[in-house]
Amino acid sequence: MPTVQIISSSEKDKNILQGAFADLGAETIFSLDLNDALAIFERVRPRAVFIADGEDPPSEIKIREILRIAPFMPVVVMLRRRDAARAVALMKLGAFDCAQSPWTPEELRPLLKKALKLSGTALAVAPPPPDTMRKIVLAAGALAAGLFLFALGYGLSQHRKAEAARIPDTVELPYSHPAGIAFADGEVLVADWYTQSLYRHSAADYKINGVTSFPDLTPVGLGHSADNLWLATADGRVERRSRDKRLTRTASVKHGMSALTGVCFDGLYIWTADGKKGIFQKRMNNDDMLVLGEYPYRGELAAFTCDRDFLWAADSRSGEIVKFPLDNPERSAAAMSVAELSDKTFRATALGTDGTSVWLTGERGGKGLLIKKNARF
Amino acid sequence: MPDSKDYIPAEIRLPHGVPSAWGRLARVDPAGCGLVSRFELKEGSGAALAFELGDETFSDIMSRVRSRRRDAEGYFTYELFFTNELQRRNLQLTLARMQGMPGDVV
């Protein structure tokens, strides 16, 4: 049974809608207002959101905030009266469609069915069972044909499975301005400055597992450890955040760099880099993130990260990813050419490592890209 | 069946004082458009569409329903043709401009 979230503060509307959606076979989760809706949104993971129009804050704001944390969520606004001009205006803002009053099962049925269909193509390992008569006929035919084709089909399916299972090394992201990358518990975390959000992608297939929105800041860099995330912000701070569900802020420091190019944690120290000045900075892992040392970088630093063994730099002049030993950050240990870095249409924005791979994010032609390279070079 | 919410929203003004409806344009060309809407229009009936194409707003685009079909979710997909020659010409110019072509080459 699909779950839909309904935002309505009216007890009367709630009773009407609960009955209507029950008739349609949908489970409903009610939220009294936007804050309540956003608080339970990630826990509930609804298939669609229905907003009762005419309440505070206006539906326009509710649509914006919901789509900020779930860009692909079908949002339906339930109008108090048939108002085509308002419906079109809301649809331009991102609403999937609008219902008109009265909110009966007949009115809501097509909207619900279409909204559920919007959320993705239904995938099945086998077609639905046919009726009894057809089943007998089909079974006889299928047996003969199946035996004949089994060997050929098996080989083909194995080949296709292997192809489908192969995870691509370059992925187009469903947002356009990736600015930081980190890793946690089998997930790839990408911060997007434009949507002011942190997207959690499955490392297995890059599907989005969840989104955390930061309405009060613009992320421009991201680092991670087992317990914390370090988030660089556009207003010149580095924030330490616990890796709890709310990503609670535990420290916030002005970094004093003119163009922060990356922030990371090597297991002992925090590192930051300034692409404009061409320096790496080693910092204490405390609330003040005190600078312990500065090391020059002589290339054109486009993105930066580190792990327990190396500092990593994406260089847009040489078109390489270069690594430096932690104990000698002025002398490169190895470099690998990366075609994307030499491509003038690509702009590298962040670098990250998960131990086995080095990951690059960037923008090309208005699209956000995630690129994976082998870190063993 | 188009399911994208990225299609252009359109207001559908109906004759005889029937309140306006709304839907989305699945396709637009100078001769007509594909329209997806929950609201039922009869074949052969007229409607005036209002929508935006790029930075231009079109209103009262006179059209008539050529054909329709209803999908499994209960939405109607209509094929409409535009009936006003001048409006067709304006649409043609806008569409050509959006595709980076001179207005008289379509």
Q: What is the distance of C-alpha A231 from the center of its chain?
A: 16
Chain A residues whose beta carbon lies within 8 Å of the beta carbon of residue B5: 74, 91, 94, 96-97, 118
B19 neighbourhood in chain A, CB within 8 Å: 82, 84
Q: Which of B67, B48, B66, B68 is nearest to B58 (CA)?
A: B48
Name the β-bridge partners of A373: A358
Find chain A residues with C-beta within 8 A of B11's C-beta: 84-85, 87-88
CA distances (Å), origin B67, targets A129, B40, B78: 33, 12, 6
Q: Which two tokens stand for residue A370?
A: 């995630």
Of A84, A94, A117, the CB nearest to B3: A117
Which residues does B44 contact at the CB level (< 8 Å), separation at least 6? Answer: B64, B65
Residues A215 and A286 in one domain: yes
CB B50 within 8 A of CB B60: yes
Asked if A43 and A110 sit in the same domain, the reply is yes
Residues A319 and A214 in one domain: yes
- Cis peptide, bond prior to residue A71, ω within 30 of zero: no
* Nearest residue in B to A95, CA atom: B5
CA distances, A22 to each of A14, A27, A50, A67, A124 (Å): 12, 7, 14, 25, 26
CATH number of the domain where residue A38 is located:
3.40.50.2300
Q: Is B22 close to A91, i.e. CB distance below 8 A?
A: yes
CA distance A115 to chain B (A): 9
Under a CB-based contact definition with an 8 Å cutoff, are residues A115 and A96 in contact?
Answer: yes
- Measured between beta carbons, the chain B residues lying within 8 angstroms of A74 are 5
The predicted pLDDT at position A156 comes to 58
A81, A96, A118 - which closes a domain: A118
pLDDT at B42: 94
pLDDT (tens place) for every residue of chain A, 377 residues total:
788 999 999 999 999 999 999 999 999 999 988 888 888 877 778 899 999 999 988 999 999 888 888 888 899 999 999 999 999 999 999 999 999 999 999 999 999 998 887 543 333 333 444 444 455 545 555 665 556 566 556 655 665 655 545 567 888 887 888 999 999 888 899 999 888 888 888 888 787 777 788 878 889 999 998 889 999 999 899 999 998 877 889 999 999 888 899 999 998 999 999 998 999 999 999 888 999 999 999 899 999 999 988 999 999 999 999 999 998 899 988 999 998 898 888 999 999 998 889 999 999 888 889 999 888 88
Is it the case that residue B35 has pLDDT exceeding 60? Answer: yes
The number of domains in chain A is 2
Q: Are residues A328 and A235 in the same domain?
A: yes
Query: Which one of B1, B4, B5, B75 makes the best mutation probe of the A interface by having the most chain A beta carbons within 10 Å?
Result: B5
H or E element, residue A55:
none
Residues of B at the A interface, defined by Cβ within 8 angstroms: 3, 5, 9-13, 19-22, 24, 38, 50, 52, 72-75
Q: What is the pTM of this model?
A: 0.49
pLDDT score recorded for residue B2: 39
Comparing CA positions, the residue from B22, B14, B12 lying closest to residue A76 is B22
CA closest to A88 among chain B residues: B9
Q: Which residues contact A73 (CB under 8 A, 6 or more apart)?
A: A46, A48, A49, A66, A67, A119
3-state secondary structure of B80: strand
Q: Indicate whether A329 belongs to any domain.
A: yes
Supply the range of the domain harboring residue A266.
170-374
Q: Is the dihedral of CA A94, A100, A102, A104 positive or negative?
A: negative
A342 and A274 share one domain = yes
Position B103 pLDDT exceeds 60? no
Residue A294 shares a structural domain with residue A179 = yes
Rounded CA gap, A375 and A111, in Å? 48
- Compute the count of residue pairs across chains A and B with CB atoms less than 8 Å apart: 49
Contact criterion met (CB < 8 Å) for B73 and A114: yes
Nearest to A110 among B5, B24, B73 (CB): B73
The CATH number that applies at residue A208 is 2.120.10.30
User: Which whole number is the average pLDDT over B20-41?
Assistant: 94
Q: Are A368 and A288 found together in one domain?
A: yes
The last residue of one of the domains, among A100, A118, A136, is A118
Pair (A328, A264) in one structural domain? yes
Contact A338, A314 (CB under 8 A): yes
Predicted pLDDT of residue A159: 57
What ipTM is given for this predicted complex? 0.89
Searching chain A, which residue's CA lies closest to the CA of residue B37?
A97
Q: Is residue A97 located within the same domain as residue A207?
A: no
Residue B10 with chain A: CB contacts under 8 Å: 88
A256 φ/ψ angles, rounded to the nearest 5 degrees: 75, 15
The verdict on domain B8-97 having CATH code 2.40.37.10 is no
Residue listed under structure tokens 């630093």: A301
Q: Return the residue in B53, B57, B73, B75 with the most chain A beta carbons within 10 A, the one to mutate for interface testing.
A: B73
Q: Given this model, what pLDDT does residue B85 score?
A: 95
Shared domain for A113 and A243, answered yes or no, is no
Q: What are phi and psi of A15, to 5 degrees?
A: -65, -45
A317 with A212, same domain: the answer is yes
Same domain, A111 and A223: no
